Amino acid sequence: MRQDRVGFVGLGNMGGRMTRRLVDAGIAVRGYDTDAGRAAAAGAQPAASMREAVEYADVVLLSLPDSRVVEAVVEGADGILAACRAGQVVVDLSTAAPSSTQRLAALFAARGVQYVDAGISGGAAAAEKGTLTLMVGGDAATIEALEWVFAPFSSKVLNMGGSGAGHTTKLLNNFLNAVSLAASAEVMVAGKKAGLDLHRLLDVLNSSSGVNFATLNRFPYIVDGNYLEGGLTSKLMTKDVVLYVELARELGVASLNASGPMSCFGLATALGYGEQISNRVVDAIGDVSGGVRLKSE
User: Is 129 an active-site residue?
Assistant: no
Asked if 74 and 82 touch (Cβ cutoff 8 Å), the reply is no
Q: Which of 129, 156, 170, 239 is catalytic?
A: 170
Q: Closest Cα partner for 274 from 241, 243, 238?
A: 238
Q: How is residue 278 annotated by DSSP?
A: G
CA dist 274 and 154 (Å) reads 28
Q: How far apart are the C-alpha atoms of 29 and 229, rounded to whole Å?
A: 27
Distance CA 231, CA 104 (A): 27
Query: In degrees rounded to 5, what are phi and psi of residue 202?
Result: -65, -35
DSSP letter string, 15-35: HHHHHHHHHHTT-EEEEE-SS
Contact call for residues 97 and 247 (beta carbons, < 8 A)? yes
- Report which secondary-structure segment, H or E, holds 159: strand 154-161
Residues that are catalytic: 170
